[in-house]
Structure 1
Amino acid sequence: MHRRRFLAACFALPVVACKEERAEAPPPPRPVTAAAIGTFCGMSLDEHPGPKGQIFVRDRADPYWFSTVRDAIAFTMLPEMPRDIAAIYVSDMARARDWDQPETWVTAQQALFVIGSRRRSGMQTDEAIPFGEAAAAHRFAAENGGQVLRFSEIPPAYIFPDGERS
């Protein structure tokens, strides 16, 4: 009798683990539409050229949208913003066919970012330009200046140059 309970418990474990794993899977990135309004600027993302961002938090169906990647990174650093982030997606400029309206996404944790380049954001500010491929990021930095960093290496001083962080 004990053996049956043991076997039943063993077969039940993978099913429970699979259900938990599915529940934790982040939502996929969404395409930019007219309904994508920048969280900080209140404007349609279609109105701004260059890389963009979207952040999903748990218990919210729609992402927070960002007209610039730098704004998306700022969201993650501001103490008043939600901390229960499920996924951060940024434009993958290595695969983008059009700088003005990039259509491909990469997770922020997988991307490499070029900061301090001559290229400006859609809001005409400094930008953290994301690439899903290391070679593309390094090539861009060689042509446009800047340094290549991972998401976790981007300094708050670059995102908040005037100390405007709360």
Structure 2
Amino acid sequence: MTRATILGALVAASLLLAGCSQEIAGLPKPPPQEPTATSVAYFCSMGLLEHGGPKGQAFRAGKSEPVWFSSVRDAVAFSMLPGEPKDIVAIYVNDMAKARNWDRPEAGAWVEAHDAWYVIGSDYGSGMGGNEAVPFSDENAARSFASAHGGAVRRFDRIPQEYILDGVPLDKAEKSEQAAMQ
């Protein structure tokens, strides 16, 4: 194969993927659902309600049932991992600004993941243990939580991949991310 052929194939694939992303972005977002006793977490295949803390759910194009996550960290990881589906129409996470119970957030306490403010690096761990990204619909609520429990406030697209996927502490993940940008 010539370089021009390879380059042409890469450009065509990029355009195709960009078109798919635009099609998915234009699809209506289904409303969040409430977990039940039969809801199973995607990564661990355990009952979702067996784990405390905020949860996540993702809707794929053409699917009426969400993919469930026992932690917000897992929902964010699902969107980052290269081997996972990219036809995600919406991701919802428990809105801890509305929830009064950390272990069992109340029904209706959901926010679209891309609209949330996250506290990362706090003293609160995920339902499965390890780093958590604690979501809030309200920036002031997120900042208040970070002030009380440590951590930093970030938007969805600013959560360091190493923090989520590798369990790297926040300060090291951010230093690594800054070094990679230079």
TM range (shorter): 0.7 to 0.9
User: What does residue 106 of structure 1 align with?
Assistant: 111
Structure 2 residue 154 is the aligned partner of structure 1 residue 149: yes
Equivalent in the alignment of 2:80: 77
CA gap of 1:54–1:135, structure 2 versus 1, over 3 A, is: same
Tell me, in whole angstroms, the C-alpha distance in 1 between the residues paired with 2:167 and 2:158: 19
The alignment's TM-score, normalised by the length of structure 2, stands at 0.75
Partner SS for 1:65? strand
- Rounded Cα–Cα distance in structure 1 between residues aligned with 2:48 and 2:104: 9
Matches within 5 A, 1:48-63: 48-63=51-66
For 1:119, the aligned partner's letter is Y
Correspondent of 2:129 among 106, 115, 124: 124
Counting helix residues as a fraction of each chain, which structure ranks higher?
Answer: 2
TM-score (norm 1): 0.82
**Which residue of 62, 65, 68 corresponds with 1:65?**
68
Summarize deviations over 1:32-58 as a string: whole Å, max 9, x none.
111211000111111111010000010
Distance, in Å, in 2 between the alignment partners of 1:125 and 1:162 is: 7
Inter-partner Cα distance in structure 2 for 1:145 and 1:60: 38
- Pairing of 1:22-33 with structure 2 (within 5 A): 24-33=27-36
Q: Deviations over 1:92-146 (max 9, x none)?
A: 0000021111131000111000000011111121100000111110000000000
Distance (Å, rounded) in 2 between the aligned partners of 1:155 and 1:43: 26
Distance, in Å, in 2 between the alignment partners of 1:128 and 1:73 is: 8
Q: Which residue of 83, 93, 96 maps to 1:93?
A: 96
Separation (CA, whole Å) in 2 of partners of 1:100 and 1:25: 30
Per the TM alignment, residue 162 of structure 1 is displaced from its structure 2 partner at its CA by: 6.0
Instruction: Return the index of the structure with the highest Cα Rg.
Output: 1
Q: Does 1:134 align with 2:139?
A: yes
1:97 aligned counterpart, secondary structure: coil
Q: CA RMSD in A?
A: 1.6
CA distance in 2, matches of 1:35, 1:99: 21
Unmatched segments (≥5 aa) in structure 2:
1-25, 169-182
